[in-house]
Chains A and B, each alone.
Chain A
């Protein structure tokens, strides 16, 4: 790896520097909040309703503009001119929580074509991109359907496809798995993982701590418009004061792992298991008491 490439990897792609933001009705949603999102990572924002997650995320693509402080994209302050905003939104895709607000066209195909048409690309190129993104997201069978004939999970995938087709460098998703069934949710997560492994920085907000713990590289805990903790999921979710202050629950896998280790059932590992499966294989690999197997298989539900 060249030095330059290493430098790029370390680069923060989005930075908020002491931003304060109030809504028109006077509620202060963010208070001198500072945060840095490294390039190529999977970042997750957690915190209770009203903590400021959505408000903060909307700063990253210039929909919200801070009252004070500044937001930077690749080390340069956001340019809020029409041209600057257009360029920014080309690079930073945003998938809203409410898909009914996001999908507006008469068919899936037409809706996905909206973004690239706004980029002013030639039609032939757009058509190629549309086919590619529909293959990637498995939407071919639904291409002529109107949005109201889709399930919530399908709508979410269409909403993501409509943003992906613009090939953003950063993809921001506001509670992407909220209200989805297990299968739809894991489909969304799998898609996000695929995108991340091909270099897209992914930022999301979530209320599902198990999901965040298993998925994220970095977790940011918000409370009343401030970041009260940030770091690797295992570190953040082990801090009882942080969990208590933010009103969050410790992820089940981590809780289980820590309990097993402190009870001497499992030797402490260098790397904390991220998923239920990882913990399972640790246990089945090390457990000396086969009689306990039954109890172990129960963990599969985690």
Chain B
């Protein structure tokens, strides 16, 4: 299991104020999305990945793995944007005839594809920056400060916690099944997976009742409020964030 969480808790930006990290990531994200220049997007990508690897000391392989998923998706999507299908090759920079139709790319469609891909990558890196440097308990604090509705915060908290319980249960069942040769063939794999899934739902149901009883025992009255520790703004990081953010904004405006 890939516990991204472990890296989040060990990252070197962990103790900078969650609000400033959120604000920084938000400004950069806005800057990236508002700008139509691939140069700006690539600058955002470089700054965010650089911060993650060099300052937060998150291992490069983890970031590479995390970026790979959206990158693959974006490359395929980008190709779909770049390539047009038309009845005539007029206006295309290069084309390929397939029967009565022409598959081709134009300068315009290439530029659009480039902007879409770089913009999405840049925006993703900004979000990864926030997610990889700020543990969820602190993001919940930010959500509360930003006056996100309590229901959303409570659901986020419960989903976060029970994803791990759910995964642990699922893996335990999977191991128990494979120990009894549940996944040796295609047919048995399908069968075992079906059983695993069905059982997981039953477990989840009983678990939810148990959780509810536990909450009741501790005086639950409909709201899941918890207390957050106090966070401090750090002297080293705040100027760095300010500098980088203003640099990127200037680049977005000027470029």
> Contact at B161–A163, with CB atoms within 8 Å?
no
Chain A contacts of B135 at CB under 8 A? 106-107, 144, 146
CB contact under 8 A between A96 and B217, given known A104-B161, A105-B137: yes
Out of A86, A93, A101, A162, which one reaches B221, CB within 8 Å?
A86
Interface size (A, Cβ < 8 Å)?
A: 42
- Other A-B pairs, 9, CB within 8 Å; known A106-B157, A113-B226: A94-B214, A104-B224, A106-B161, A109-B227, A110-B137, A144-B9, A148-B164, A149-B9, A166-B218
Q: Which residues of B contact A (CB under 8 A)?
A: 5-6, 9, 135-137, 140, 157-158, 160-162, 164-165, 168, 207, 210-211, 213-221, 224-229
> How far does the Cβ of A272 sit from chain B's closest Cβ, in whole Å?
36
Chain B contacts of A58 at CB under 8 A? 213
Q: Give complex CA distance A205, B169 in Å.
A: 25
> Does A10 reach chain B (CB closer than 8 Å)?
no
Majority secondary structure of chain B interface residues (helix, strand, loop or mixed): helix
Q: Which of A50-90 contact B (CB under 8 A)?
A: 58, 61, 63, 82, 86, 89-90
For the complex of A and B, the 8 pairs showing the least CB-CB separation, nearest first, are: A106-B137, A118-B219, A113-B227, A110-B226, A148-B164, A101-B210, A94-B217, A107-B137
CB contact under 8 A between A63 and B224, given known A107-B135, A109-B229: no
Q: Mark A220-239, 1 if CB is under 8 A from B, else 0.
A: 00000000000000000000
> Contact at A96–B227, with CB atoms within 8 Å?
no
Chain B contacts of A106 at CB under 8 A? 135-137, 140, 157, 160-161, 226
> Contact at B217–A63, with CB atoms within 8 Å?
yes
Chain A contacts of B158 at CB under 8 A? 104
> Contact at A96–B161, with CB atoms within 8 Å?
no
Q: Give complex CA distance A113, B226 in Å.
A: 6
Majority secondary structure of chain A interface residues (helix, strand, loop or mixed): helix
> Contact at B165–A118, with CB atoms within 8 Å?
no
Chain A contacts of B140 at CB under 8 A? 106
> Does A102 reach chain B (CB closer than 8 Å)?
yes
Chain B contacts of A143 at CB under 8 A? 229
> Contact at B216–A114, with CB atoms within 8 Å?
no
> Contact at B218–A105, with CB atoms within 8 Å?
no
CB contact under 8 A between A146 and B211, given known A89-B219, A90-B219, A117-B227: no
> Contact at A147–B161, with CB atoms within 8 Å?
yes
Chain B contacts of A98 at CB under 8 A? 210
> Does A169 reach chain B (CB closer than 8 Å)?
no
> How far does the Cβ of A179 sit from chain B's closest Cβ, in whole Å?
14
> How far does the Cβ of A223 sit from chain B's closest Cβ, in whole Å?
24
> How far does the Cβ of B214 sit from chain A's closest Cβ, in whole Å?
4
Instruction: List 13 A–B pairs whose Cβ atoms lie within 8 Å, in order of A's numbering.
Output: A61-B217, A63-B217, A89-B217, A106-B226, A110-B226, A115-B218, A117-B226, A118-B218, A146-B135, A149-B5, A149-B6, A163-B217, A166-B218
> Contact at A101–B218, with CB atoms within 8 Å?
no
> Contact at B210–A115, with CB atoms within 8 Å?
no
Q: Give complex CA distance A126, B228 in Å.
A: 11
Q: Give complex CA distance A85, B168 in Å.
A: 34
> How far does the Cβ of B41 sit from chain A's closest Cβ, in whole Å?
32
Q: Give complex CA distance A115, B214 in Å.
A: 11
> Does A194 reach chain B (CB closer than 8 Å)?
no
Please, which residue of chain B has its CB at the minimum distance from the CB of A102?
B214
Q: Give complex CA distance A94, B162 in Å.
A: 21
Chain A contacts of B227 at CB under 8 A? 109-110, 113, 117, 123, 126-127, 130
Q: Give complex CA distance A258, B228 in Å.
A: 55
CB contact under 8 A between A166 and B161, given known A101-B210, A107-B135, A149-B5: no
> How far does the Cβ of B17 sit from chain A's closest Cβ, in whole Å?
14
Q: Give complex CA distance A86, B215 in Å.
A: 12
> Contact at B224–A101, with CB atoms within 8 Å?
no
Chain B contacts of A105 at CB under 8 A? 137, 157, 161, 226
Chain A contacts of B157 at CB under 8 A? 104-106
Chain B contacts of A93 at CB under 8 A? 217
